[in-house]
């Protein structure tokens, strides 16, 4: 569908005319725009991608604990998503607001589910399908089957899994289960793709989460992702640890969690991530 036809549908769904459009940078899948509406509202539009229904569901789930600001979903269809417009700051957060974000994230992680690890639907991490079912009460089994093994098999299908990665995967599950032993916790609500680009800071310094790959998992997996590509200050981690310290031995489990995201980047962006995947798998 061409852009003008989609915009007409957006207007019809919102019940008001779009009077001004402004491109917004960021992301490599969808097009993003700031829209001024005849009603006087300003909203954020994402279009041109897919699975926006799943993204909207993820945002709605993250909003349930009411501890971190999540953009309100105003309208959604499979090929577009309209969110509230949240003015943001171009200045990095100071230590006070970074620590507050860490504390809020820990509080969000306390939101659990009696249905086990996973989510009520599959979704995406970037452009890659993320399997969240069947749900499980065993985190190690869930993470192996739906995260590491899934990404490795996808890399094999894509011709990107080297012999070194394949050799490491022969013993990886046993090593992972040994490392995970003793870290068992109830499922935590996690963002799922928490790197610095998916956290905005409002004009009042408050953290705002966007672009989720939401599911109920182990909170250590979330924190490992924050360490993978940098962008989070020591104050953020201090705020988190003050609110809810991580279990002992989390450092030895961190590489397994980072491997999931590196394998995903290998599948998304190609062999430039292969050496890092080999190192983590080894």
Residue of 51, 138, 193, 211 marked catalytic: 193
Instruction: From 142, 148, 88, 149, select the one nearest 116 (Cα to Cα).
Output: 142
How far is residue 18's CA from residue 34's CA, in Å, rounded to a whole number?
10
Round to the nearest angstrom and report the end-to-end CA distance of the chain: 46
How far is residue 6's CA from residue 109's CA, in Å, rounded to a whole number?
37
CA 163 to each of CA 156, 157, 172, 275: distance values in angstroms, whole numbers, following the listed order: 10, 14, 14, 12
How far is residue 162's CA from residue 274's CA, in Å, rounded to a whole number?
8
Torsion angles phi and psi, residue 124, rounded to 5: -135, 150
How far is residue 116's CA from residue 195's CA, in Å, rounded to a whole number?
25
How far is residue 123's CA from residue 57's CA, in Å, rounded to a whole number?
9
Specify whether 193 is catalytic.
Answer: yes
Count of beta carbons in the 10 Å neighbourhood of residue 85: 18
Instruction: From 109, 108, 63, select the one nearest 217 (Cα to Cα).
Output: 109
Q: Are 30 and 3 in contact (CB under 8 A)?
A: no
What tokens appear for 127 in the block?
Answer: 């452009």
Instruction: From 40, 5, 1, 3, select the one nearest 19 (Cα to Cα).
Output: 40
Residues designated catalytic: 193
């Amino acid at each position: 569908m061409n852009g003008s036809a989609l915009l007409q549908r957006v207007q019809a769904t919102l019940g008001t005319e779009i009077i001004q459009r402004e491109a917004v940078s960021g992301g490599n899948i969808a097009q993003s725009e700031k829209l001024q509406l005849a009603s006087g509202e300003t909203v954020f539009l994402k279009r041109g991608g897919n699975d926006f229904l799943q993204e909207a569901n993820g945002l709605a789930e993250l909003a349930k604990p009411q501890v971190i600001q999540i953009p309100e979903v105003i309208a959604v269809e499979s090929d577009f998503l309209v969110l509230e417009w949240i003015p943001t700051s171009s200045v990095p957060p100071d230590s006070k607001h970074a620590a507050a974000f860490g504390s809020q994230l820990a509080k969000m992680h306390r939101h659990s589910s009696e249905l086990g690890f996973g989510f009520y639907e599959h979704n995406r991490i970037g452009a890659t399908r993320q399997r969240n079912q069947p749900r499980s009460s065993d985190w190690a089994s869930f993470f192996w089957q739906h995260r590491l093994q899934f990404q490795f098999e996808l890399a094999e299908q894509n011709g990107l899994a080297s012999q070194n990665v394949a050799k490491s995967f022969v013993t990886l599950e046993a090593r992972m289960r040994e490392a995970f032993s003793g870290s068992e916790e109830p499922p935590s609500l996690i963002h799922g793709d928490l790197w610095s680009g998916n956290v905005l800071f409002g004009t009042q310094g408050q953290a705002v989460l966007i672009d989720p790959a939401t599911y109920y998992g182990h909170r250590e997996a979330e924190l490992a992702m924050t360490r993978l590509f940098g962008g989070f200050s020591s104050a953020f981690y201090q705020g988190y640890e003050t609110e809810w310290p991580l279990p002992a031995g989390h450092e030895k489990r961190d590489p397994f969690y980072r491997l999931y995201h590196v394998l995903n980047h290998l599948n998304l962006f190609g062999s430039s991530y292969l050496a890092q995947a080999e190192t983590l798998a080894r």
